[in-house]
Structure 1
Amino acid sequence: MPGSGIRPFSRSVSVMLLLLTLAVTACSALAPGSRSSWKLTDPPPLNPQNQSLQKPTETQPPQSKPRETQRIAPETIPQRQPATSQPQEDLFAVPESTDRKQPPQPQDLPEEIKPQPRLNVPDLQSRMQPKSAPKRQSGPMMTAPSASGPLEMSVEVIPKRQLGSGATFYLIIKNVSDRSVRNVLMECEFDAALLFPGRREKKIGQRLGTLQPGESKEISLTLYSDTLGNHCCRFRAIADGQELVWKSVCVEYEKKQMDLSVIGPSARTIGSRAEYIVKLSNVSDDDLKDIQVAISYDPVLIPREASIGSERETGKLKWELDTVRKGEGVQLQVEFECEVAAEHACLRVNVTSPELPNELVSACLKVTPATGVLDVQVRDTKDPIARGEETTYEVSIENRGLQPAKDISLQAKIPRMFRVVSVEAYQGNQKLSVRPQVNQNILTVSPIRELPADAFLRYTILVKAIGSGDEEFIVTISGADTDKLDTSVSEITTVNR
């Protein structure tokens, strides 16, 4: 019959095509790009890809959320500066009462103080606290005074925290009267389950001095706890020995489900960059769903690189992480350019989920003008990396003086998780002859005889990861005139297991 000789061949081709289709489907289902999280022992690379936040990645499926990095278009957005945290050295311990079990009782307000209208201060505690049956609370609790005085106090805090996390109380004290209030003292007494880092006292104070009419002062206090339950703080403002206003605020501590940390530098010079890595890991017994991460930052920090998948808003970058599985985690990366000087340029990482209390961590950076004759910058070309991989530290040195800089030497403290592979030096495009030596994780390089004014010197230090962790690479550049040429710069690098 015509055509009967080719039917077996057509049937074979159909079977082969069916098997090929099934294989492709199975591979697609197992593709790593379809995962929203990964094991902490094998995270994907986070190298910059220079992709705009305004455009989606065409080569990536819409449902995929890879943790690569992309370039962020320059933008300066004004943002309200946060209140500066109260330095620990300004706090002092308040003597305890003779009966340690009894909190101090409120004192009657002076009769000559006339009642003043209260300001409509937002009450974060009542707004964020879920409506549920009241729980038994510990710590100092008192009844609100019936009369109002010249001072008004508001206290804000996230009402739920995980064990081991910090609860930051934001206080605003305002003089709402038409006269000055002198010798204002702020006291805080907190539950025994709450800890103030570096101190054993459960009652601390801070002198605020004189508050003029309409003047307000802001204070922040962070306490920690490793005990489940509701733990409370009582804040009171005293003037000339008289208690004028107080508030009691409580925080509920729950079982820890997620670890959250941010890693990055604490100091940079104007014109340099600061790279931060945010680590999240699921330490609960179940998968965590609908995870959202938001990184807000001060306007002096200009974002230049960030993990792919971010959405940019005013002064903020956001990621939708979907599900983070049990025992797995996510690493996000953002790099800022430091254009102006700042004493405290901060970023705040906020993680939210219907299954978790809001988690918040922050990191602050001091940005200063470059001092001395040499401007030294350092960066790692690949971070984070896995054990067994390599990265390169690039050290750039500019002679900003009017005269040549002589006998420039490099010394670097190499993180113990690295082994130095090679060291090279360049002046412009010319490769220089150097003699590197490593002794107990200290790298020293033979001096460069001369660096002309306005010239650049560049070192490349190739290292291989032989361990894991987060450690700091510290490089010190010195010269013949030590007073003018001695400069130290550092960079933190992450190596995953």
Structure 2
Amino acid sequence: MKIKKSFRHLCATLFPVIALALLPVTWMGCSTANGTSTAVAPEQVKGPREGWDTVDIRMDPLVRLNNAAPVSATLGDTYPVELTVTALEVAGDVTVTDRIPEGASFVRAEPEAKIEGRILTWRLGAMNRDEVKTIKFWLKAEQDGELCNCAAVHAIPRGCVKTLVGRAAIAIDKTGPATARVGDPVNYSVVVRNPGNATARDVVVTDNVPEGLAAAGGQKQLTYDLGVLAPNESKRIDVPLTAERRGRFTNVATVRTANAGEASANATTVITQPGLSVTKTGTAEQYVGRTATYQIVVTNTGDSPLTDVVVTDWVDPNVKILSADGAEIRGFQAIWRISELAAGEKRSFDVTATSMVGGVFPNNVAVVTREGLKEASRADTLWKGKAAILLQLADDPDPIGVGETTTYTIRVTNQGSADCTNIKLVAKFDKEIDPVSAAGATSGSVEGKTVTFGTISKLAPKEAVSWTITGKGVLTGDHRVKVEMTSDVLSAPVTQEESTHVY
């Protein structure tokens, strides 16, 4: 830096004064007429201080020295002397000297002085404008009379210029959502700051995309060139990503510079995946008119709560809901509402129903949530009817004479609630009556004393069929005709007898 002309002029002006100050100090006696003191220096200015004798020594325009001591002391006592140096301008190599007067001895000084014979020296070094430094020392009065203490100060001009050396610094902060769901956007914010007092250059941010998150272009590393950052400047970067799978993922961003080093920051996001399942179990087979029970289990299989869960159970129109604890029953439906289903939580619901009609009828359940999840299940029940076959046999007329005929009527009725299948009939006659002919729901064939009818493949509930057999009396006596019926629903044949008197 060039020294200004005014400064050079200042140095030229002060040189004679400085030279004078650097000359050897001549210590002179003090006048006793009025108790005042004199000193050899560029200028002396007396200053009042009660009980003290003081003198100001100016070395314009650099420094001023104030020398002060008590006006009186007692022989053998210790008394203080105070030297106060004030910088009038920026000064260098400030040095204060003081001569211990004859008749006094040195005791101590603050700060410590360099002692050479009776000369005390303090080198105060550089002082800035208006800076003040104080020296205090103590002497002991060894003889009576006037003790004259003389001090001197010298300094040289000091010119200073400043160059601020700054330091660039770099800092980075990263924020993002603590949680997100699979498929949701996950947006991070990166803020890069220069907290230093110099410009940071070539600032580049790299963001590493972790597994489980994805950038729009599929990149695994995103790079942002920020150029330069002035002191205390900050820049923000938005990093949009998408959650691809569940888990805990940490996204790390690093900023590098040409002159401020590097820094990293991260943000961790837990990716959750909502899940829902529903199962339904129930009575697989039941007789018509009895009760079937069903159990519904709704489970939150995900790792985040599900809200506004609605469970709806509905039955076939041939089935009637008897009970569903906690549900609102509307005709063929039972509805439960759950405000929140925690992650991993299960809820069970029971339903009882009945049917008066045989057949396989489904019992369905569907679950929906506010988050848009839907699941369904079903349990089928075979409602079985119970077959109850009634076999009836009657003759008309009774009795009959030999050579006369009578008609036997066979009637089969399904009194139950299930189909009767593969119904077969066989009629057997004794010696008193011969079967002559047979007719009815199926054809009948007569072979000797036996009549066999064709098979009824299915007889529905409450349905009835009938056959007739014509018999002729051939011998007198009490005749017995026996009809045997078999069916898939019968574990053993059912027989029916009818007696006819022949005379």
TM-score w.r.t. length of structure 2? 0.24
Q: Whose strand proportion is higher, 1 or 2?
A: 2
TM-score w.r.t. length of structure 1? 0.24
